[in-house]
Amino acid sequence: MSIANTCVLVAAVMPVLTMGLAKASTAGRKRRDGGYDNNNPREWASHLQGWQARAAAAQNNGFEALPLFVFAVLAAQAAGLDQGRTDMLAMAFIGIRVVYTVLYLANVAALRSVVWAAGVGVTIAMFAPTLKLPF
């Protein structure tokens, strides 16, 4: 398996781990006291506040970013683009997503948005050589 394919797996697991932080922060509490409710996880998440609520939002964004990233890796590989370049860009995406998640949890919104844009840019750059631009 290529490094880029491994990065796809990492990108798919990262949102789960992000929400896992919020769930783990309530360990030992009963459901009625705000502990994790596996019977109604979405309702439980809707009542989160602070960094735990941002963890839930970061999880959602991680899943939203995933399809484009997976497509970029697969498109680059299907087009026969340089695997080393694809691997480097995929690793950059993972690094960017880690920074993005940390900034989200820390509530650093403006910089988080810049880092998010960098992630989109790296993803597009991954399969950009396959694009036929009219100019």
Share of the chain above pLDDT 90, in %: 74
Q: How far apart are CA 122 and CA 126, in angstroms?
A: 6
- Count the residues in the chain: 135
Question: Is the per-residue pLDDT at 32 higher than 70?
Answer: yes
Q: How far apart are CA 123 and CA 68, in angstroms?
A: 7
Q: What are the tokens at 1? A: 């398996």
Residue type, 35: G
Cα 41 to its chain centre, rounded Å, is 20
Reported confidence tier of residue 132, pLDDT bands at 50, 70, 90 = low
Using CA atoms, how far residue 107 sits from 27, 79, 103, in Å, is 23, 39, 6
Reported confidence tier of residue 96, pLDDT bands at 50, 70, 90 = very high
pTM score, two decimals?
0.91
